[in-house]
Structure 1
Amino acid sequence: MLKKIKGQTVQDGAGVKLNRTIAIPSLDYADPFFLLDEFRSDNKDDYIAGFPMHPHRGIETLTYMVEGSFIHRDSQGNEGSLQAGEVQWMTAGKGILHEEMPAMEDSHLWGYQIWINLPANLKMVKPKYRHIKSEDIPVVHKDGVDVKIISGAYDKVNGPVQSYYPITYLDVRLQNENGVFTKELQGTNLIYVHSGELSVHSGDEALAAGAGSLVIVEGGSEVQVTGYQAGFLFLAGEPINEPVARYGPFVMNTPEEIRQAFEDYGSGKLA
């Protein structure tokens, strides 16, 4: 089954304008993914305020910068400049505070943040941060399709992000009218269209989708995507299938754990 979700324009952080397709009324979450935001604008007023220091617990976050740059700082002493083509992978685990602020005052900013849930036995692991350079992220060029492998594998090539809970994260560009992206399916499978128009095929179904929309692929053994000069993110992961309690930046298993997270944050124990 193919289902299309229309992105919702929201503001987060100190007023950053985003297109959000997970964590909205039409799609609360897609286990194990609990957030998918695209920030993309030529107007500095849409992003200049950034994401000042804020907490997380119980998840991993991946920030992927396509154009522009962000400065990351966190309560573990990590700091780095996230440049075009690079990825910031952060395991919040038992708790961390971090901020992401734009490192430029004008021109184009384009990137993504996803949240990956952690199973109960990993919710309180030690926080971890890794900055992955563009040259360390492989790209497969095959039959008119370019596939940047951030995590997981494609065409027997592995990406550099080895998250606690394994996922597949690809940035796919269809360069000509003959290009066809084919991928086996696993658990939860998502296609976020970021450029152009494309067609998603699975089994006997086909669905057209344009930039800013998310396609959920359920059932079947593989998916095929076609389109001319179109691009998309492909995300996949096995559902964790555990109880979920979420409030703001915390994703836990019970309301009691959420209350504890807020208490720990208020008392300075979170990080």
Structure 2
Amino acid sequence: MKLIKGERVKDGAGVNLNRVIAISSLDHADPFFLLDEFRSNDNSDYAAGFPMHPHRGIETITYMIEGSFTHRDSKGNEGNLKSGEVQWMTAGKGILHEEMPAMENGQLWGYQLWVNLPAKYKMVEPKYRHIKAEEIPQVLKNGSDVKIIAGAYDNAVGPIKSYIPVDYMDVRLNGGFFEKETRETALIYVHSGKVTVSSEEGKLEIEAGDLCLIERASHIKIHGENSGVLYISADPLKEPVARYGPFVMNTMDEILKAIDDFNDGSFDK
């Protein structure tokens, strides 16, 4: 079990973020290559947004808790991501997209996660899914309130079928606990209050803004009072990785090809 302290960074055109994967203390946690929290009541922290930019070789998942983003991409998809909704985008062989705040005031609070694609799926056709809040099942159990974006919990199944099995849940704890059999890589990001995480690897207390990374455990249990976490888990791909900015591939030759494709205009064709 490892405690990862969040780092304040700027990305996009100058959006202030709390980053817990893709930082000096945690470059990646196979198969996850980025986890950002954007959360502010100050318009100047998020107004610049994320203008049009490319991705290849990954899936990007944007989960909005408060506020709204407009989205559009080079495949003609566009929409408004509102509170409680999820955008699950398979970049595959290449897509350009932008995400811009659709609000001038109020709190913007959400997350972006990057999930690596296996080598055999790196160059699949891009796909975009907009999941409405009412499509996300919610389970009340053991003093916890669990929204299931992906994966299964207590016989409820999330709406997303990804290229590799991923659990993604927003867990609110009200003096109770959440427990689950876990995949080999497990992330517990605390977004509210503080929690205690237990597994056969030990026990750790974590506060809001920090991440608990657990590898090779089979079962986790999280206790908390007026607190909340993102629970994210998947099995590692254990494949070679080459990464450059928004591209995650298996070899440097594939990275150079992505850069060439982007520069010559064939990237998303």
- Report the TM-score, using the length of structure 2 for normalisation: 0.98
Q: Give, as a single letter, the amino acid of the residue that structure 2 aligns with 1:218.
A: E
Q: Give, as a single letter, the amino acid of the residue that structure 2 aligns with 1:18.
A: L
Q: Deviations over 1:159-207 (max 9, x none)?
A: 00111122000000002x2x11101121101100000011111126211
Cα pair 2:185 2:216 within 8 Å, conserved = no
Cα pair 2:184 2:217 within 8 Å, conserved = no
Q: Give, as a single letter, the amino acid of the residue that structure 1 aligns with 2:16.
A: K
Structure 2 Cα separation of the partners of residues 135 and 247 of structure 1: 36
Structure 2 Cα separation of the partners of residues 219 and 107 of structure 1: 40
Superposition map of 1:2-41 within 5 A: 2-41=1-40
- In structure 2, stretches of 5+ residues that fail to align are none
Structure 2 Cα separation of the partners of residues 87 and 200 of structure 1: 26
Tell me the secondary structure at the aligned position of residue 112 of structure 1.
strand
- Report the TM-score, using the length of structure 1 for normalisation: 0.97
Partner of 2:173: 174
1:194 aligned onto 2:210:
no
Structure 1 Cα separation of the partners of residues 85 and 216 of structure 2: 32
Partner of 1:93: 92
Structure 2 Cα separation of the partners of residues 184 and 27 of structure 1: 24
1:50 aligned onto 2:36:
no
Cα 1:202–1:76 change in 2 (3 A) is same
Percent same amino acid at aligned positions?
63
Query: 4+ residue stretches of structure 1 with deviation over 4 A?
Result: none
Structure 2 Cα separation of the partners of residues 234 and 224 of structure 1: 11
Cα 1:204–1:4 change in 2 (3 A) is closer
- In structure 1, stretches of 5+ residues that fail to align are none
Q: 1:218: how far off?
A: 2.6
Structure 2 Cα separation of the partners of residues 263 and 74 of structure 1: 20
Partner of 2:102: 103
Q: Please provide the CA RMSD for this pair.
A: 0.8
Greater mean deviation of Cα atoms: 156-165 or 10-19: 156-165
Q: How many pairs were matched up?
A: 268
Tell me the secondary structure at the aligned position of residue 264 of structure 1.
helix
Structure 1 Cα separation of the partners of residues 265 and 216 of structure 2: 45
Q: Deviations over 1:30-59 (max 9, x none)?
A: 011100000000001000000000000000
Structure 1 Cα separation of the partners of residues 218 and 251 of structure 2: 34
Structure 1 Cα separation of the partners of residues 19 and 56 of structure 2: 21
Tell me the secondary structure at the aligned position of residue 228 of structure 1.
strand
Structure 2 Cα separation of the partners of residues 181 and 60 of structure 1: 27
Partner of 1:210: 207
